[in-house]
Structure 1
Amino acid sequence: MSSAEPRFKRILLKLSGEALMGNGSYGIDPETLDRVTQEIKQARDIGTEVCVVVGAGNIFRGLKGAASGIDRATADYMGMLATVMNALALQSALERIGVHTRVQSAIPMASVSEPYIRRRAIRHLEKGRVVIFAAGTGNPFFTTDTAAALRAAEMNCNALLKGTQVDGVYNADPKKDPSAVRYETLTYMDVLRQDLKVMDASAISLSRENNIPIVVFSIHSENALVNVLQGKGTCTIVSGE
């Protein structure tokens, strides 16, 4: 692995719950979990401070629960609890490879995590720990994408990196349309005007207001995270005009 200086000193990594499923259809795939945590370790080893927001689509998705008849706010809280499960799995896998990690939950759960306290989280990052933010924003009707943009702003992150199933943002779904074209760069307004499925509109607007670039890349490519941090990886960068 190259020792080139990372282009971002502090990042927030947004992981979807699906990113932890591997080839499965539900839950957490141990091999995928171990590979993702190795990516995070590599990023930290080149000098980048890393915090993480993880979704829960691999366990329970609030919107899907609401569609099945569960009250929307209740379904969203259930999804937040599922993100705590993913966060604890990430913490365990990271600490198994020697990476000191803290989980902070927006819904207080003193037995398994710290409460979310901004100044404490920043101090953890300064000490080289990985901080995993669980339970989204702690409020229903907000996605973990919005939570990621919010925490990135609160932590004074230099960039928000979204690890997805594909290597950037396309004008169509590349898994369904082989002629889909990948964008190298986009502006926040491009994403909003074209309704591109990068992150939800609240997350895009929050990133725009705080001038935090969004870097979309494939979390499934080997060394993808560290390559993007060193300016070598394939990705799409969403930033200002």
Structure 2
Amino acid sequence: MYKRVVLKLSGEALAAGRGFGVDVDRIHEVAHEVAEVRSLGVEVTIVVGGGNFFRGVAEQAKDMDRVSADHMGMLATVINALAIQDAIEKQGVQCRVMSAIEMNQVCEPYIRRRAIRHLEKGRVVIFAAGTGNPYFSTDTAASLRAMEIKADVLLKATKVEGIYDADPVLIKDAVKFEQITYMEILRLGLKVMDTTAVSLCKDNNLPMVIFNMNEPGNIRRVVMGERVGSLVTS
């Protein structure tokens, strides 16, 4: 169904419930699914968060300068990106980490045309360090990179089945949206992604699928066109 995708992973997803750090088994599960999707001929890019190490707007950063805190969060995403790269390469798939903050000894700088070339050569590309700018989340980075590389869809992996009208963890009878528009998300104030990311997708007609990452095989199902999670369109 989709030829080129951007997969947005949260840092917490890589911690697998432990709250902090990287769960090796979880990383390899994700890498296996990514390799499986890549074997279908789909060009895969990944944007990863850093909340399992540091988040610029978290309680631990409340007394810090916001710019410094956000830069720490960006560096945390690079740690996660390198961990995912290692796991994907152990699956026999070539992978490149491209960072919005230059650190040449560790990974490549983000250059749009080079990223597209990597995809054309069959490599998985991981975009690290967000947008490289403070005050912008990794959700916004995922939306931005999706536009730049002309992705067909943005896949946001979460711990719930899709988009609900209330938090399904707290409210048992929360209603799930099978399909919803970006305007409805903004109007209802749903905490799917930050408003900058939602607006960017809306303005550029980029579809987005919110799905449960904890269900094995879901990435493949979404890419194959099965109705998994919630579809967001303009």
Shift of 1:176: 1.0
- Map 1:33-48 onto structure 2 (within 5 A): 33-48=27-42
Match of 1:92 in 2: 86
Shift of 1:231: 2.1
Match of 2:18 in 1: 24
Shift of 1:42: 1.3
Q: Structure 1 CA distance, aligned partners of 2:122 and 2:202?
A: 27
Shift of 1:68: 2.7
Q: Where do 5+ consecutive residues of structure 2 fail to align?
A: none
- The TM-score normalised by the length of structure 2 is 0.98
Letter in 2 for 1:209: D
Q: Structure 2 CA distance, aligned partners of 1:103 and 1:81?
A: 13
> Given the superposition, is the C-alpha separation of residues 117 and 65 from structure 1 closer, same or farther in structure 2, using an over 3 Å criterion?
farther
The answer to whether the Cα contact below 8 Å between 1:65 and 1:75 also exists between their aligned partners in 2 is no
Do residues 210 (structure 1) and 187 (structure 2) align? no
Q: Where do 5+ consecutive residues of structure 1 fail to align?
A: 1-6
Q: Please, what is the CA RMSD of the aligned residues? A: 1.0
Match of 2:140 in 1: 146
For 2:146, what is the secondary structure of its paired residue? helix
> Given the superposition, is the C-alpha separation of residues 137 and 66 from structure 1 closer, same or farther in structure 2, using an over 3 Å criterion?
farther
Out of 170, 173, 176, the residue aligned to residue 179 of structure 1 is 173
Q: How many residues were matched structurally?
A: 234
Equivalent pairs: percent with the same residue? 53
Shift of 1:66: 7.0
Do residues 83 (structure 1) and 95 (structure 2) align? no
Do residues 53 (structure 1) and 38 (structure 2) align? no
For 1:205, what is the secondary structure of its paired residue? helix
Out of 165, 168, 173, the residue aligned to residue 162 of structure 2 is 168
Shift of 1:99: 1.0
The answer to whether the Cα contact below 8 Å between 2:55 and 2:61 also exists between their aligned partners in 1 is no
Q: Structure 2 CA distance, aligned partners of 1:25 and 1:208?
A: 32
Shift of 1:233: 4.7
Note the alpha carbon deviations across 1:108-149, whole angstroms, 9 max, x for none. 000010000000000000111000000000000000000000
The answer to whether the Cα contact below 8 Å between 1:13 and 1:163 also exists between their aligned partners in 2 is yes
Shift of 1:198: 1.0
- The TM-score normalised by the length of structure 1 is 0.95
Shift of 1:46: 1.1
Match of 1:228 in 2: 222
Q: Hey, which bits of structure 1, 4+ residues long, moved more than 4 A?
A: none
